[in-house]
Structure 1
Amino acid sequence: MKTIAALGLLAALAIAAPAADAATAKRGTFGKLPDGRTVDSVLLTNNRGLSANIIAYGASIQSLVMLDRAGKKADIALGHENMDGYLKFPNFIGATVGRFANRIDAGRFTLNGRQYQTPLNDSTNSLHGGSIGFDKVLWQVVSVKNGPTASVTLRYVSPDGDQGYPGTMTVDTTYALDEQNNLTIEYTATTDKETIVNISNHAYWNLSGEGSSNGAMGHVVTIPADSITPVDETLIPTGEFRPVAGTVFDFRKPRAIGDRVRDASDKQMVYGRGYDHNWVIGHKVTTTQHLMSRVSDPVSGRSFELWSNQPGLQFYSGNFLNGTFSGKAKKIYREGDAIVMEPQIFPDAINQKGFPEARLQPGQTYRNVMTYKFSSGAAAGRR
């Protein structure tokens, strides 16, 4: 009887424990907000040496550690080591941005004949949802799961009138890591009143390692887009679709960012102080994912492909990292030290004819799903 009982216990433990080759999700605490609320964290780890730490403040990527071609680990995501850093120097570092990612001209839009006003937190425009967007609120961890794909789901309920937006919006963010080094981020949202929505992730990447002296301007980028949406001097789209052929925006073939990032012969580069533009991958949200970009670092051998179901890709070359704060490696973050790739609907889409639909109706579900397919060429099976 003891043998049978022991076998039964072993079988139960085998079922409860994650498989040896499965990814894991470990819940923890990152810190506290000034009002005393606890900021939860969840560390997603696979068996190939990749781990992503997700914090509930801003539903943010706080770190992403992976191997290089020599098997050496580094954290490739910019971030702060504690809550104090996020509160003092937000900069959308690693965060979920919304309700409306990117810019809205003068912060105004009209629905059903009624005009709405959102905060002007980017000179004369509204940026990434306003002064207290999704990046500056505490999300609730609602689900944590182990492999074969480990995941965490966070939720935020944005009340009617939040930052001037109509409708109570319920938003779920899921980060999922598998054993193939794929990190998938999925955003879903529903509303009880017609509103607008455009949610994305604002992770800053330096594939050489955050704080590395190499910076990110040596990264080689491919973007399969034939056109961009050019902007005015306030970075609001003009409504045009401008071909990239023969311009500094042509990344249809691999090109190092630093080759042309300071080219002042194109006024677009002057307006953005480098790349801070929307590449046209398609003209509507699709049901399946498609390639948005490829990024590789010749120094470390690290790379990723970014896939999404979104029509636009905002590529930002870290032009406004101004050396006023440092990150986890105790190194100052400067201009060009990292890049951001944001799959999304086009900027100011609600005010632009011919841009993808940005409205969300009751009964509909908004969905932005993006997958980072990381690679390093290093041997698998290392923790």
Structure 2
Amino acid sequence: MTTAGQLPSNVKHIGSFEGEELHEVTLEAASGAHARVLSWGATLRDLMVPGPDGALHHGALGFSDLDSYIANPSYLGATCGRVANRIGGGRFSLDGREYALARNERGVTHLHGGARGFSHRPWKIAAVDADTVTFTRIAPDGEEGYPGNLDLSCTYRLLSPGSLRVEMEARSDATTPVNLAHHSYFTLDPGHSSHELTVEIPARSYTALDALKVPTGEIAPVEGTGYDLRTPRRLGDSGITYDINFVLDQPLGELRFAARVACPRNGRTLEVWTTEPGLQLYDASMLAETDKGLDGLTHGKHAGICLEAQNCPDAVNHPGFPSPWLRPGEIYRQVTEYRFA
């Protein structure tokens, strides 16, 4: 994978960053669905899936240029970690030692792995075929303040007729927190607001937040709130914005239904199935405006919807949340499927 002449036919060199070559991999399913994935940030760039009319449609937002991915302040399509979502105060304690992390959100909160988390670093292509690619990287001890050398892999599989399966694994030589998340902004109706979508999430509770969007430690019931999506609900009808983690009720480690999104205008749907204990719903209320979308698409606020399968945010500081700790000899595993009907 070092020179253009050695690249498989579905891999192309797209540039470099700090001496590291960057590549784009095109995946194709038997149904004709196809995806483009970048080694920068193990990032989904484009996803074309069949709709009810039989034609292929964009399923996720993407940028037309590499520079936008190098910057990528909104984490479009990226793999987030070492710990995705927020860590209050950018601090946690482990075995009697306090660790200080980058406070890259408003100078007070650690977000999505820090100033240069996994989303903003090059990964290596370890294996590739027509419909699958595996990226790997080693995050060294001390990167962004975290302990332990972390051996990572992220695999994208494109399944017929239009499903994207994301598999993540990690191993460490020292106890460390790990919480990876895929951060695509999915779209069922490009050019229209995420608040026009109908969403169902079968969760009875959510992680209550403080003013900085950091969990307080309370697992609060959704009943009687705008977060009650146990029956399908149009997002715009609640009168609130969404950037919240739902606590899923099913057994951990089993692939199970976590969310369903539908577009009443065109009949397109998306289901999320995951092994994770939480699902962050973000309605892109802060997505930066850009005119560099794919195929000339301009997108910004509410242009997509994020469904980030993950552990509960700030679990490093809340013993009552599912454990975020990965110890030597253990394997962190996550499987999430995004199934377009």
TM bin (shorter chain): over 0.9
For residue 365 of structure 1, what is the amino acid of its counterpart?
I
Residue matched to 1:234: 212
Following TM superposition, the consecutive aligned residue runs of length 4 or more in structure 1 with deviations greater than 6 angstroms are none
- Unmatched 5+ stretches in structure 1: 1-24, 264-273, 376-383
Cα distance in 2 for partners of 1:173, 1:156 equals: 9
Paired residues of 1:33 and 1:83 also in contact (CA < 8 A): no
For residue 125 of structure 1, what is the amino acid of its counterpart?
T
Paired residues of 1:92 and 1:135 also in contact (CA < 8 A): yes
Cα distance in 2 for partners of 1:254, 1:26 equals: 43
Residue matched to 1:221: 199
Paired residues of 2:136 and 2:153 also in contact (CA < 8 A): yes
1:308 pairs with 274, 288, 293, which one?
A: 274
The one-character-per-residue Cα deviations of 1:288-311 (angstroms, maximum 9, x if unpaired) are 211110111122322111111111
For residue 187 of structure 2, what is the amino acid of its counterpart?
N
Cα distance in 2 for partners of 1:289, 1:66 equals: 22
For residue 181 of structure 1, what is the amino acid of its counterpart?
G
Evaluate the alpha carbon distance shift between residue 358 and residue 89 of structure 1 in structure 2; reply closer, same or farther with a 3 A threshold. Answer: closer
Evaluate the alpha carbon distance shift between residue 283 and residue 73 of structure 1 in structure 2; reply closer, same or farther with a 3 A threshold. Answer: closer
Larger Rg computed on CA atoms: 1
The offset of 1:26, in angstroms, is: 5.2
Residue matched to 1:114: 97
1:137 matched to 2:121? The reply is yes
Residue matched to 1:279: 246
For residue 258 of structure 1, what is the amino acid of its counterpart?
G
The offset of 1:38, in angstroms, is: 2.3
The offset of 1:30, in angstroms, is: 5.2
Cα distance in 2 for partners of 1:132, 1:162 equals: 9
Q: Secondary structure at the match of 2:69?
A: helix
Q: Secondary structure at the match of 1:163?
A: helix
Q: Secondary structure at the match of 1:329?
A: helix
Q: Greater shift after overlay, 365-374 or 319-328?
A: 319-328
The offset of 1:36, in angstroms, is: 4.6
For residue 183 of structure 1, what is the amino acid of its counterpart?
L
Evaluate the alpha carbon distance shift between residue 30 and residue 71 of structure 1 in structure 2; reply closer, same or farther with a 3 A threshold. Answer: farther
Evaluate the alpha carbon distance shift between residue 64 and residue 320 of structure 1 in structure 2; reply closer, same or farther with a 3 A threshold. Answer: same
Cα distance in 2 for partners of 1:331, 1:81 equals: 9
Paired residues of 2:315 and 2:324 also in contact (CA < 8 A): yes
The one-character-per-residue Cα deviations of 1:99-144 (angstroms, maximum 9, x if unpaired) are 0010001110111001111100112110000000000000000001
Evaluate the alpha carbon distance shift between residue 203 and residue 74 of structure 1 in structure 2; reply closer, same or farther with a 3 A threshold. Answer: same
For residue 340 of structure 2, what is the amino acid of its counterpart?
F
The offset of 1:35, in angstroms, is: 3.2
Q: Greater shift after overlay, 357-366 or 180-189?
A: 180-189
Paired residues of 2:65 and 2:292 also in contact (CA < 8 A): no
Paired residues of 2:79 and 2:181 also in contact (CA < 8 A): yes
The offset of 1:41, in angstroms, is: 1.6
Cα distance in 1 for partners of 2:54, 2:117 equals: 38
Cα distance in 2 for partners of 1:31, 1:171 equals: 23
Evaluate the alpha carbon distance shift between residue 30 and residue 231 of structure 1 in structure 2; reply closer, same or farther with a 3 A threshold. Answer: farther
Paired residues of 1:89 and 1:325 also in contact (CA < 8 A): no
The one-character-per-residue Cα deviations of 1:206-233 (angstroms, maximum 9, x if unpaired) are 1113xx2x23221111000011111000
1:52 pairs with 35, 46, 70, which one?
A: 35
The offset of 1:182, in angstroms, is: 2.5
1:205 pairs with 186, 190, 194, which one?
A: 186
The offset of 1:374, in angstroms, is: 1.3
For residue 111 of structure 2, what is the amino acid of its counterpart?
L
Instruction: List aligned pairs for 1:1-383, cutoff 5 A.
Output: 27-29=10-12, 31-123=14-106, 124-146=108-130, 150-209=131-190, 212=191, 214-260=192-238, 262-263=239-240, 274-282=241-249, 286-324=252-290, 326-375=292-341
The offset of 1:90, in angstroms, is: 3.6
Q: Greater shift after overlay, 337-346 or 73-82?
A: 73-82
Cα distance in 1 for partners of 2:10, 2:161 equals: 22
The one-character-per-residue Cα deviations of 1:27-82 (angstroms, maximum 9, x if unpaired) are 32252134353211211111323111111000010000122222232222111112
Cα distance in 2 for partners of 1:305, 1:26 equals: 31
Paired residues of 2:181 and 2:308 also in contact (CA < 8 A): yes
The one-character-per-residue Cα deviations of 1:135-158 (angstroms, maximum 9, x if unpaired) are 000000000134xxx211000100
Cα distance in 1 for partners of 2:327, 2:72 equals: 35
Cα distance in 2 for partners of 1:358, 1:70 equals: 43
Cα distance in 1 for partners of 2:21, 2:38 equals: 11
Evaluate the alpha carbon distance shift between residue 175 and residue 350 of structure 1 in structure 2; reply closer, same or farther with a 3 A threshold. Answer: same
Residue matched to 2:4: none
